[in-house]
Amino acid sequence: MSSPTQNSKQRYFNREISWLAFNWRVMEEAQNTNYPLLERLRFLSISANNLDEFYMVRVAGLRTQAIAGMPALSLDGYTPMRQLQKIRVRAKQLIAEQQKQWKQLQSELFDAGIKVKSVKKLTKGEAKTLRTFYLGEILPLLTPLAIDPAHPFPFIPNLGFGLALALKHKARGDKRKAIVTLPTHVPRFIGLSRNSNGEVCSYVVLEDVLKEYAHELFPSF
């Protein structure tokens, strides 16, 4: 096989794809059992935060170029649109692996006495605590918004959190789409109970809570 010439595009790695490969290696540290369990969880969190920033900065820049029809090629010969296509494939693989690692870590956390529970599997005491927290700390902050020709898609800021819903009217049967946005300062993991040492040992994730009570926001659906 001939080696690339001095001006050959084969001499270069794509900047964006290389960055995704680097972030994959960060995520792989979550598999390293030589690290303490919470340190492994931290690596997984870092890889997720990195990907958020990547989309806010680098992907946003490429999208701007693609929408403007800019023909400029990267050093390895790709247009902005082609780079976006390649990023989509690699990012999808990365996100799927992140979810796989999260499930594995959840299992190990459970064995260590830290439980991330489904709302459906809470004890009566935990369910009561969650209900109180939802009514007092979450519900007043929720902003349910319809999405239709009269209500354009709402602005969601960087790192904004929202839940997209497909709704069907109970009586009429007509379908609607809606989104529920939430301020980012609300904790993603909600502690519900403590162990004998006074440490929080049982959690639910915010999106599961929103799903559980979504019917109360749209009572006719």
> Where would I find the H helices in the chain?
15-28, 37-54, 60-67, 80-111, 124-133, 206-217
Give the model's confidence band at 136: pLDDT under 50 very low, under 70 low, under 90 confident, else very high: very high
Give the model's confidence band at 88: pLDDT under 50 very low, under 70 low, under 90 confident, else very high: very high
Instruction: Of 207, 209, 161, 202, give the one whose Cα is nearest residue 185.
Output: 161
Rounded mean pLDDT, 28-57? 95
Query: Given a cut of 90, is residue 199 above it in pLDDT?
Result: no
Query: Given a cut of 60, is residue 3 above it in pLDDT?
Result: no
Dihedral (C-alpha) 55, 56, 58, 63: value to the nearest 10 degrees? 80
151 is written with which tokens? 């209500």
The 3-state DSSP class for residue 124 equals helix
Q: Which residues contact 11 (CB under 8 A, 6 or more apart)?
A: 4, 5
Domains along the sequence of the chain with CATH = 11-111 (1.20.58.310), 115-217 (3.30.1840.10)
pLDDT of residue 221: 80
Report pTM. Answer: 0.81
Rounded mean pLDDT, 63-87? 84
